[in-house]
Amino acid sequence: MSDDKLASEEARRSVQHQSVKAQVEGDINAEIAERASQAPPAGESRRIENVADQFRAKAVDEVVDTEREVERSRGLARISQVVDYIFYVIYALLFMRFLLALLAARSSAGFVQFIVAVTNPFYAPFRGIVAAPTIQGGHTLMLPLVIALVVYILVHLAINGLLRMFAHRKTQI
C-alpha cells in the first residue's frame, strides 16, 4: 500500500520534473527568438542581458534542485521497499509461529524448531507480557505473539512515515 503511494508520488515528481525542464527549455528558446527579432535601445541592452542572465541562472538552479529531489526520493523509495520486505518476512514468520502454536504442532518437528529458532529474537521482548491460554489438546492462543505483531506493524508504519517525510520537499514561495 505505501509502495503504491511512494511509486505514484515518484511518478508525479518525475512528470513534474519533466514539465519544469520543458518549460525552462521553452522559455530560453522564446527569449532567444525575442532577442533575435528585436533590437533593444542602446542604453537598455546591458541591463536586459543582466536580467535575462539572472532569470536563466534561477531557472537552471531550480532544475538542478528538482533533479536532486527526484534522485533523493528514488533512494528513499528503494529504502522503503527494503524495509517493507524485511517487515513482511517478520510478519510471516511470527504468524507461522502463531498458527503452529494454535494448531498444537509437535515441538519436536524440525520445521517447528526452525520457526521457533528464527522467531525467538523477535518474540523474546514480548514473552510473558500476558498469559497464553491453553485448552485441551495443547492448543495455545499465543497472545504475546499477537502483541508482537501489533507492535511490529506500528514500528513499520512509523519507519515508513519518517521515510515519507524525508522524501517530500517543502515548497518555498
Tell me the percentage of the chain whose pLDDT exceeds 90.
29
CA 165 remoteness from chain centre: 9
- pLDDT tops 80 at residue 61: yes
| Range scoring the smallest mean pLDDT among 50-64, 65-79, 82-96, 130-144 | 130-144
| Nearest partner of 3 among 122, 68, 88, judged by Cα | 88
| Nearest partner of 55 among 82, 34, 31, judged by Cα | 31
CA 77 remoteness from chain centre: 4
- With H, G, I as helix, E, B as strand and everything else as coil, classify residue 139: coil
Other beta carbons within 10 Å of 77: 19
- pLDDT tops 60 at residue 160: yes
| Nearest partner of 141 among 132, 128, 149, 150, judged by Cα | 132
- pLDDT tops 80 at residue 124: yes
pLDDT given at position 167: 76
The residue-averaged pLDDT of 63-69 equals 83
Higher pLDDT, 18 or 4: 18
Helix axes 110-123, 143-167, angle to 10 degrees: 60
Taking the C-alpha atoms of residue 90 and residue 21, their distance in angstroms, rounded to an integer, is 43
This prediction's pTM: 0.60
- pLDDT tops 90 at residue 140: no
Model confidence band, residue 52 (pLDDT cutoffs 50, 70, 90): confident
